[in-house]
Amino acid sequence: MNEVGKIYHRPWGTYQTLAMESGFQIKILTVAPGGKLSLQLHHQRAEHWVIVKGAPTITIGELEKTYAVNSAVYIPLKARHRIQNLTNDICQLVEVQVGEYLGEDDIERFEDVYGRVCVYAP
């Protein structure tokens, strides 16, 4: 599991875990200009995002939409999803993960512009 308060760097930006409890985890995601997370899904958790800065373009299933500050987005269990920042400013989201297992290895990637692969093994 992630350490609370530690900032983790990824090719697309950073994330910081704010709280971890049994059944949920809260993070801040900062997506750099041009940053793009993997097209992915989670088998054991759903996610709730609130946009607090910027205008990220979010894909859920076949729907792709740009969201404004104060928008809330729900990512159901096993839904393919992605965040990308097509702007010149950072985007920040508060992410609440809900599920019995919240490990970083609960990611099945389908596309990743940074060459990362992940084979999910339950």
Contact 82, 38 (CB under 8 A): yes
Q: Which domains does the chain have, with CATH numbers?
A: 7-111 (2.60.120.10)
**How far apart are the C-alpha atoms of 70 and 78, rounded to whole Å?**
25
Which pLDDT score is estimated for 118? 62
**pLDDT at position 15:** 96
- pLDDT of 121 reads 52
Q: Alpha-carbon distance 98 to 102, whole Å?
A: 8
Please name every residue paired with 51 in a beta bridge, in sequence order, or none if there are none. Answer: 93
The pLDDT tens digits of the residues spanning 52-92 come to: 999 999 999 999 999 999 999 999 999 999 999 999 999 99
Res. 49 pLDDT band, cuts 50 70 90: very high
Q: What is the pLDDT of residues 87-116, one digit of tens each?
A: 999 999 999 999 999 998 898 988 878 777
pLDDT score for 111: 82
